Structure 1
Amino acid sequence: MTSSSTSSSRFPRISTHGVHIRCWCGEGITNFGSSTAENRYRRFYRCQIAKDRKSENHLFKWIDEALLDEIQTVDAKHERVAQGLKKFEERVIENVKSEIARIEDEMTEKLKEKVKLEIEKGMKHKLKIATVAMVVVGAVVGIWNSLAV
């Protein structure tokens, strides 16, 4: 595929990238077919004014080159979006891991507090039982002593 998007007129053509809708002059872009021997039937974009005024510098772009430009632009945007998504995913994973660690620490502290309370509650209960047992034993010993005298 040869590219002949340069002009031999006294004005160089404006460099374009991708598919345009309007020429610099404001005229809408139309597609035409080349009639030159070198590019027979090859399609190109041009405004109607440029077709009538060949000496003026208006937008000119081969359609196949414009479409390739568009594909390259979309590929570049796709790559940027993919990289952005990857960075976003990494940040989300990092945030989730830190939140899991925070919740684990919080749950560990709550569990320690609960175990401590249960141990204290159990100790108080055992202490009550021991106190009652000592009172009963003391009473039995007192009764025994009073009977033995």
Structure 2
Amino acid sequence: MTSSSTSSSRFPRISTHGVPRRCWCGEGITSFGSSTAENRYRRFYRCEIAKDRKSENHLFKWIDEALLDEIQRVDAKHERVAQGLSNFEEKVMTNVKSEIARLELEMSQKLKEKVNLEIARVEKEMKEKLKIATVGMVVAVAIIGIWTSLYV
């Protein structure tokens, strides 16, 4: 593929990136096939009025170069989007991890509170049962003491 600098244009071209839509003069773009020996049948974009005004410097760009420019622009944009997604994913993962840590701490504290409340409830219940058992034993010992004093 021959570089666009080998064109037979008498004027330096204004640089355009990608596939052109309009010429710098505002006119539309048409595609043609080259008829020169050096670039036989190679397709190019040209300003619609440039074919009538050869002495003016209007848009000219090889189609293959325009398509390569477009591919490079799309690749660059894809890379920026991919990097943006990667950064977003990192931020989301950081937020998720910190939220998980916060929730784990909160759940751990609530679980400790519930366990402590349950331990306190069971402890109170056991103390009441122990009191009842102690009173029962005292009563039983008193009955045994009375019985033995009467019959022994």
Q: TM-score, normalised by structure 1?
A: 0.89
CA separation in 1, counterparts of 2:130 and 2:4? 105
Q: Is the 8 A contact 2:4 2:61 kept in 1?
A: no
Match of 1:52, SS?
coil
Match of 1:49, SS?
coil
Are residue 118 (structure 1) and residue 115 (structure 2) matched?
no
Deviation at 1:105, TM superposition (A): 0.7
Are residue 26 (structure 1) and residue 38 (structure 2) matched?
no
Q: Is the 8 A contact 1:46 1:59 kept in 2?
A: yes
Are residue 136 (structure 1) and residue 116 (structure 2) matched?
no
Q: Is the 8 A contact 2:32 2:43 kept in 1?
A: yes
How many residues align? The count is: 148
Indicate the percent of aligned positions where both proteins have the same amino acid.
72
Deviation at 1:146, TM superposition (A): 5.0
CA separation in 1, counterparts of 2:44 and 2:21? 13
Deviation at 1:4, TM superposition (A): 3.4
Deviation at 1:82, TM superposition (A): 1.2
Q: Deviations over 1:17-69 (max 9, x none)?
A: 11011111111111011111211111110111011101111111100100010
Q: Is the 8 A contact 1:22 1:29 kept in 2?
A: yes
Structure 2's unaligned 5+ residue stretches are: none
- Name the structure 2 match of 1:41: 41
CA separation in 2, counterparts of 1:119 and 1:113? 10
- Name the structure 2 match of 1:54: 54
Match of 2:76, SS?
helix
Q: Deviations over 1:62-120 (max 9, x none)?
A: 00100010011111111111111111111121111111111111111111111101110
- Name the structure 2 match of 1:2: 2
Structure 1's unaligned 5+ residue stretches are: none
- Name the structure 2 match of 1:95: 95
CA separation in 1, counterparts of 2:59 and 2:143? 121
- Name the structure 2 match of 1:108: 108
- Name the structure 1 match of 2:65: 65
Deviation at 1:142, TM superposition (A): 4.2
- Name the structure 1 match of 2:81: 81
CA separation in 2, counterparts of 1:7 and 1:137? 120
Deviation at 1:7, TM superposition (A): 5.9
The alignment yields a C-alpha RMSD, in angstroms, of 1.8
Match of 1:103, SS?
helix
